Amino acid sequence: MTEFDPAWLIYFGAALLLMAYAIREELKLRIMIVVSTFVYIAYYYLVTSPPLWDAIFTSLLMVAVNLWVLAQIVLERTRLRLSDDEKQLFDAFETLTPGQFRRVLKLTKWHKATDPEGTVLTREDEPSGELFYIMEGAISVQKSDRQFRLPSGNFVGEVAYILRRRTTATTVAPLGVRFVKWDSDSLRQLGEKHPNLGNALNALLTRDLAKKLTSSYRPDDAMPATEQTKELLEAAG
């Protein structure tokens, strides 16, 4: 039987590498490079005795770097390693890719309203430097002489964020409501650093605002007219 010639590994590895360079999709390209590098490592191990350890070591370093980049690509494209709350929040950011969302997530602060009298999020016609999203529960909203409740799944403060103007309503999160918030300036800086992310975020918030403007609130959307709610909203305004 003819002995296997390790030299063929060089040709095979080179062929894989050439195929990798012809691939435009980065994930597949990186995988092909890793596979071809392992073929080269096999050659360095078999071609001489003792094996070419220096070449094997440097090749393994190349594999490690490519595997690290592959991990980043996977995180950029999937919801892998997101918690249940983070997945729920990601569902609200439908215009963002998983990678863009992970950047936003680094600026996210998670809160639960603990004040028995309610936590004021925004005050009507006052500057606001924060953007909010209601994760669980309903908040009370007072705009001029109109008062209603806004359920979970809505952003708060998007007008002030998009138009860089004063807020249009006083919003209060009752005890137990879960919400997240972002510093508006930090979020804008992130959008300027990553223009595609900034455009996607503005499109999302504009869509959320349009949804609110076209929604008609039914009588049962009104907040209960309790004295505590009235006093709280008067104090906030």
The pLDDT score that the predictor gives to residue 232 is 42
Q: Is 130 helix (H, G, I), strand (E, B) or coil?
A: strand
146-156: per-residue pLDDT in tens?
888 999 999 99
Helix axes 195-214, 98-105, angle to 10 degrees: 90
Helix axes 84-92, 98-105, angle to 10 degrees: 110
The pLDDT score that the predictor gives to residue 47 is 87
The pLDDT score that the predictor gives to residue 215 is 65
Burial class (CB in 10 A: 0-12, 13-18, 19+), 114: exposed
Confidence of residue 2 (pLDDT cuts 50, 70, 90): low
Confidence of residue 143 (pLDDT cuts 50, 70, 90): confident
Torsion of CA 196, 201, 206, 211, to 10 degrees: 130
Among residues 182, 185, 173, 165, the alpha carbon closest in space to that of 124 is found at: 165
Cα radius of gyration rounded to whole Å, the chain: 27
pLDDT exceeds cutoff 80 at 222: no
3-state secondary structure 26-67: HHHHHHHHHHHHHHHHHHHHHCCCCCCHHHHHHHHHHHHHHH
181-221: per-residue pLDDT in tens?
999 999 999 999 999 999 999 999 998 888 877 764 444 44
The pLDDT score that the predictor gives to residue 201 is 96
Among residues 162, 151, 152, the alpha carbon closest in space to that of 207 is found at: 162
Confidence of residue 236 (pLDDT cuts 50, 70, 90): very low
The pLDDT score that the predictor gives to residue 23 is 87
More confident residue, 232 or 158: 158
44-83: per-residue pLDDT in tens?
999 888 999 999 999 999 999 999 999 988 888 898 889 9
Give me 224's structure tokens.
């209960």
How many angstroms separate the CA atoms of 140 and 169, rounded? 10
Question: Which residues 6+ apart lie within 8 Å of 163 measured at CB?
Answer: none
More confident residue, 216 or 41: 41
Question: Which residues 6+ apart lie within 8 Å of 223 measured at CB?
Answer: 140, 147, 148, 149, 229
Burial class (CB in 10 A: 0-12, 13-18, 19+), 18: exposed
Q: What is the pTM of this model?
A: 0.74
The pLDDT score that the predictor gives to residue 194 is 95
Are the CB atoms for 166 and 216 separated by under 8 Å? Answer: no
